[in-house]
């Protein structure tokens, strides 16, 4: 075998040959695995929140800061890291951020007090914002342009797969051993993602260095601001309630740990399937898709507190919620890319900032609601935010042709 043939994937240029087509998708898969590791780490406290709160001596509402802290920091780091990256190769940036993810999990696993836990979660926030911005921006660079939507869907599939396997598995490990072992296991997962990226990712030079002026121009556009508000409302609605789903299932629905783990697994399974199905039509019908899924989230959040003592209704409500939310991240990402097709990284940075701000604010507001009104208060807040999201969606055009032209204004 010649030297050229045995060269590493990381050193090989992207070409249009059929041989490299498979390599391109393997590279996308390595990023999807990274997204799986990041989301597993970000969501891990959801399934073990009561245990961490009890072990570190804080209330469940305060323990929600484990979600708020990385979300808030990621919202700031997403555009800042993109600006600081300038002309740096995106492959190197992704690898560095994956190293930080490994470190974050190790700090959390070894935390002996809540302050140390928050340090680990802050490190997650720094790496999380940069990873999502770069990953979503380069997905269309790795594969052919006409396959960019599929590449984005594959990366988002890593998110839903994390809810299918990652979060429930972390909860299961915590039941068998401890929440610390769950974080150690996630550190191993992050290390595996890092090694795959180092092997599979090709050279990824930036298309154009982002400038502050680029963000300034985008933020002066009314459609971009409305779209960011939409992103914040829909993610906020989900996370103000989902962060506290374990306390709700345990305290309000009186379900045991086995049921909680099973329902979290079911939530992820149906969400994974929903994301897969949504990738086929979300580009052609973005507004209708988001409207239907948001309405279903709202119905589920109304039904869960109302029928908390009927286990069949709780199961149906959680699964309906999973189906609805499974399609929302991909739908909103496609929506934001439609607003600025010529500036994908800047659009991704704003999208990530809006998402992480919503996660931070949503989990914080949900924590306040939980401490004052119980877990049902967080559900009711999610209903309100979902309704506001539907109102923003209704303000946009009804046909795709009109919608595309409006979003690019």
pLDDT digit string (tens) for 288-346?
A: 889 999 999 999 999 999 999 999 999 999 999 999 998 898 889 888 878 877 777 77
How many distinct structural domains can be found in the chain? 1
Lowest mean pLDDT across 144-158, 237-251, 268-282: 144-158
Identify whether 2 is part of a domain.
no
Identify whether 4 is part of a domain.
no
Find the CATH number of the domain harbouring 211.
Answer: 1.20.1250.20
Question: Mean pLDDT across the stretch 356-363?
Answer: 85
- 133-327-149 Cα angle (round to 5): 55
Confidence bin at 37 (pLDDT 50/70/90): very high
Confidence bin at 363 (pLDDT 50/70/90): confident
What sign results for the dihedral spanned by CA atoms 246, 247, 252, 257? Answer: positive
Picking from 329, 349, 331, the residue whose alpha carbon sits closest to that of residue 340 is 349
Residues in the chain: 409
Q: Please say whether the beta carbons of 247 and 128 come within 8 A.
A: no
**pLDDT at 5 exceeding the cut of 50:** no
Query: How many Å is the maximal CA-CA distance in the chain?
Result: 68
Lowest mean pLDDT across 17-26, 52-61, 264-273: 17-26
What per-residue confidence (pLDDT) applies to 404? Answer: 60
**pLDDT at 281 exceeding the cut of 90:** no
Identify whether 9 is part of a domain.
no
C-alpha–C-alpha distance, residues 376 and 253, integer Å: 10
Lowest mean pLDDT across 122-126, 157-161, 228-232: 157-161
Q: Please say whether the beta carbons of 313 and 252 come within 8 A.
A: no
What per-residue confidence (pLDDT) applies to 9? Answer: 44
**pLDDT at 14 exceeding the cut of 50:** no
Pairwise pLDDT comparison (332 vs 401), residue with the higher score: 332
Tokens of 304: 């869960």
What per-residue confidence (pLDDT) applies to 17? Answer: 53
Identify whether 28 is part of a domain.
yes
**pLDDT at 148 exceeding the cut of 60:** yes
What DSSP string describes 309-368? T-HHHHHHHHHHHHHHHHHHHHHHHHHHHHH-TT-HHHHHHHHHHHHHHHHHHHHHHHHH
Identify whether 127 is part of a domain.
yes
pTM: predicted TM-score of the whole model, two decimal places: 0.75
Question: Mean pLDDT across the stretch 7-21?
Answer: 50
Identify whether 337 is part of a domain.
yes
Picking from 100, 179, 95, 169, the residue whose alpha carbon sits closest to that of residue 138 is 95
pLDDT digit string (tens) for 112-134?
A: 999 999 999 999 999 988 887 78
**pLDDT at 401 exceeding the cut of 60:** no
What per-residue confidence (pLDDT) applies to 75? Answer: 83
Identify whether 7 is part of a domain.
no
Q: What is the mean pLDDT of the chain?
A: 84
Cα torsion 140, 142, 147, 150 to 10°: value is -80
Lowest mean pLDDT across 31-40, 118-127, 198-207, 227-236: 198-207
Q: Please say whether the beta carbons of 108 and 52 come within 8 A.
A: no
Question: Mean pLDDT across the stretch 8-12?
Answer: 46
Q: What is the Cα 28 distance to its own chain's centre?
A: 17
**pLDDT at 209 exceeding the cut of 70:** no
74: Cβ contacts below 8 Å, ≥ 6 apart: 124, 125, 126, 128, 129, 132, 352, 353, 356, 359
Domain of residue 97 covers: 16-407
Identify whether 48 is part of a domain.
yes
What DSSP string describes 203-222? ----SS---HHHHHHHHT-H
Pairwise pLDDT comparison (34 vs 409), residue with the higher score: 34
Question: Mean pLDDT across the stretch 248-263?
Answer: 88
What per-residue confidence (pLDDT) applies to 13? Answer: 45
Confidence bin at 163 (pLDDT 50/70/90): low
């Amino acid at each position: 075998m010649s030297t050229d043939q045995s060269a590493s994937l990381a050193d090989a240029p992207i070409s249009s040959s059929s041989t490299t087509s498979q390599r391109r998708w393997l590279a996308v898969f390595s990023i999807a695995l990274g997204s799986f590791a990041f989301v597993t780490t970000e969501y891990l406290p959801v399934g073990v929140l009561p245990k961490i709160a009890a072990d570190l001596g804080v209330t469940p509402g305060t323990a929600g800061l484990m979600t708020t802290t990385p979300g808030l920091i990621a919202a700031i780091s997403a555009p800042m890291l993109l600006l600081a990256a300038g002309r740096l190769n995106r492959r190197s940036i992704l690898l560095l951020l994956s190293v930080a993810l490994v470190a974050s999990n190790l700090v959390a696993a070894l935390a002996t007090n809540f302050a140390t836990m928050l340090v680990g979660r802050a490190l997650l926030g720094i790496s999380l914002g940069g990873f999502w911005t770069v990953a979503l921006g380069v997905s269309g660079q790795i594969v052919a342009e006409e396959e960019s939507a599929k590449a984005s869907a594959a990366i988002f599939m890593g998110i839903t797969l994390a809810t299918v396997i990652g979060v429930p598995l972390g909860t299961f490990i915590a039941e068998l051993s401890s929440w610390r072992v769950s974080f150690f296991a996630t550190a191993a997962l992050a290390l595996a993602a890092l090694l795959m990226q180092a092997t599979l990712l090709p050279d990824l030079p930036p298309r154009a260095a982002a400038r502050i002026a680029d963000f300034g121009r985008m933020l002066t556009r009314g459609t971009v601001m409305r779209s960011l508000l939409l992103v914040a409302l829909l993610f906020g609605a989900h996370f103000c309630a989902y962060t506290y789903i374990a306390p709700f299932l345990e305290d309000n629905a009186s379900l045991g740990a086995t049921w909680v783990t099973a329902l979290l697994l079911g939530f992820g399974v149906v969400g994974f399937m929903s994301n897969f199905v949504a990738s086929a039509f979300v580009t052609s019908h973005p507004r209708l898709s988001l409207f239907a899924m948001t309405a279903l989230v709202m119905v589920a959040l109304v039904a869960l507190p109302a029928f908390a003592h009927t286990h069949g209704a709780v199961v149906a409500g959680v699964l309906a919620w999973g189906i609805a939310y499974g399609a929302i991240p991909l739908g909103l990402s496609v929506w934001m890319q439609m607003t600025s097709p010529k500036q994908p990284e800047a659009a991704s940075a704003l999208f990530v900032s809006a998402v992480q701000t919503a996660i931070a604010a949503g989990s914080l507001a949900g924590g306040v609601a939980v401490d004052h009104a119980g877990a049902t208060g967080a559900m009711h807040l999610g209903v309100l935010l979902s309704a506001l999201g539907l109102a923003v969606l209704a303000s946009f055009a009804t046909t795709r042709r009109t919608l595309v032209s409006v979003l690019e204004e």
